[in-house]
Structure 1
Amino acid sequence: MTGYEPRWYREELHRTELSPFVVRFRETDLWVAVPPEKDTPALRRLCQVTAATLWQELHDYILTDPRFYHSLVPYLPRFGCPPVAARMAAAAEKAGVGPMAAVAGAFAEEIALVLARRFSLTDIIVENGGDIYLASTVPRRIAVWAGNSPLSGKIALDIAPDLSPLGICTSSATVGPSLSLGKADAVTILARDTATADAFATAVGNQVRTAADIESALVFAAEQPDILGCLIIIGDHLGAIGRIRLAPLADSVPINTAKKGCRPC
Structure 2
Amino acid sequence: MSLSPVAPLDPGAYTHRFYRNLVHPNRGFSFQVQEGESDLWIHTDKPRESHAQKVLHEVRKTLIQYINRDPSFKTSLRPLPLCSECPGIVQEMLHAAKIAEVGPMAGVAGMIAKAVGHALIKDGAAHVLVENGGDCFIYRPDSPTTLGLFAGQSPLSMKVGIKIPPNPEPVGAATSSGTVGPSLSFGKADAVCVLSPDATLADAAVTAIANRIHSPEDLESALTWGASLKGVNGIAAIVGEHLAAWGTVELVKL
State whether TM-score is above 0.5: yes
2:155 to 131, 142, 150: 150
Matches of 1:225 and 1:85, distance apart in 2: 19
2:60 to 55, 59, 63: 55
Which residues of structure 1 form unaligned runs of 5+?
A: 250-265
Mark the CA change 1:167 to 1:13 in structure 2 (over 3 Å): closer, same or farther: closer
Equivalences for residues 73-112 of structure 1 within 5 A: 73-76=78-81, 80-112=85-117
Report the equivalent of 2:5: none
Is 1:161 the counterpart of 2:166 in the alignment? yes
Matches of 2:237 and 2:145, distance apart in 1: 20
Structure 1 position 220, deviation (Å): 1.1
Paired amino acid for 1:31: W
Matches of 2:14 and 2:81, distance apart in 1: 26
Structure 1 position 20, deviation (Å): 0.8
Equivalences for residues 3-42 of structure 1 within 5 A: 3-12=13-22, 14-35=24-45, 38-39=46-47
Matches of 1:187 and 1:248, distance apart in 2: 17
1:128 to 125, 128, 132: 132
Q: Percent identity?
A: 39
Mark the CA change 1:13 to 1:213 in structure 2 (over 3 Å): closer, same or farther: closer
Structure 1 position 150, deviation (Å): 1.0
Matches of 1:6 and 1:89, distance apart in 2: 29
Matches of 2:230 and 2:88, distance apart in 1: 23
Moved over 6 A (4+): none
Matches of 1:160 and 1:11, distance apart in 2: 23
Structure 1 position 164, deviation (Å): 4.1
Alpha-carbon displacement from aligned partner over 1:92-137 (angstroms, at most 9, x marks no partner)? 1110000000000000011000111012x23110000010000112
RMSD: 1.6
Paired amino acid for 2:152: G
Moved more, 178-187 or 6-15: 6-15
Structure 1 position 8, deviation (Å): 2.8
Cα contact 2:84–2:91 (8 A) shared by 1? no
Local SS of the residue matching 1:209: coil
Report the equivalent of 1:68: 73
Matches of 2:204 and 2:75, distance apart in 1: 15
Is 1:44 the counterpart of 2:49 in the alignment? yes
Cα contact 1:77–1:85 (8 A) shared by 2? no
Alpha-carbon displacement from aligned partner over 1:170-217 (angstroms, at most 9, x marks no partner)? 111111111111110111000000000001001111110000000111
Local SS of the residue matching 1:152: coil
Matches of 1:53 and 1:88, distance apart in 2: 16
Structure 1 position 82, deviation (Å): 2.6
Report the equivalent of 1:247: 252
Equivalences for residues 208-219 of structure 1 within 5 A: 208-219=213-224
Matches of 2:218 and 2:176, distance apart in 1: 15
Aligned length: 243
Matches of 2:67 and 2:14, distance apart in 1: 17
Which residues of structure 2 form unaligned runs of 5+?
A: 1-10
Return the TM-score normalized by structure 1: 0.87
Return the TM-score normalized by structure 2: 0.91
Paired amino acid for 1:108: A
Report the equivalent of 2:179: 174
Alpha-carbon displacement from aligned partner over 1:192-249 (angstroms, at most 9, x marks no partner)? 0000000100111111000000011111122223111000101111100101111111
Cα contact 1:58–1:84 (8 A) shared by 2? yes
